[in-house]
Amino acid sequence: MPVERTLSIVKPDGVARNIIGDVYRRFEQAGLRIIAARMLQLSQADAEAFYGVHRERPFYKDLVKFMTSGPVIVQVLEGEGAIAKNRDVMGATDPKKATLGTIRADLATSIDENVVHGSDAADTAAREIAFFFRETEICPRTR
């Protein structure tokens, strides 16, 4: 399995509920290394652009409103098969359908407020990492 990078976000509900550490612990225990991280508050334009693929979906307006409602932490995760592994650690979009032991099953309150974002494929991972980080801000482990 090749080493990959993926973009992860602890969404505003996760930051507000003080569960950043719980989320990070799950990444680390799954063998995902945090190689870049930053806290920020998304502007309306940022959130609209980031979730632009969902522009036509009925939940788009609410999603943008939620994602701009408070600070988020964005991070790049690296590891073998990191894109799929992160999606496994996150669990299904709807926490009611997520497998027990996943972030969303254990920590999320609803499909709207589901604690984490994770890239869903290699092309989106590359695009989403570049959306938030310059290459010089990404620090792969040297030890």
Collapsing DSSP to helix, strand or coil, 40 comes out as: strand
When asked if residue 72 is in the footprint of ligand ATP (CB under 6 A), the reply is: no
Nearer to ligand ATP, 59 or 131 (CB): 59
Nearer to ligand ATP, 35 or 72 (CB): 72
Please report which helix (H) or strand (E) contains residue 85, including its range.
helix 82-90
Give the CA distances from residue 63 to residues 11, 14, 58, 113, 121, in Å, rounded to whole numbers and listed in that order: 11, 15, 10, 9, 20
When asked if residue 14 is in the footprint of ligand ATP (CB under 6 A), the reply is: no
When asked if residue 93 is in the footprint of ligand ATP (CB under 6 A), the reply is: yes
Annotated catalytic residue, options 5, 11, 104, 117: 117
The residue whose two tokens read 């964005």 is: 74
| Beta-strand relationship, 33-40 and 3-10 | unpaired
- Least separation in angstroms between CB 112 and ligand ATP: 5
Nearest to 104 by CA among 42, 14, 15: 14
The interface mask with ligand ATP, positions 94-123, x = CB under 6 A, is -----------------xx-x--xx-x---
Cα distance between residue 116 and residue 59, in whole Å = 17
**117 is known as an active-site residue:** yes
User: Which parts of this chain interact with Mg ion (CB under 5 A)?
Assistant: 120
User: Which parts of this chain interact with ligand ATP (CB under 6 A)?
Assistant: 54, 59, 63, 93, 111-112, 114, 117-118, 120
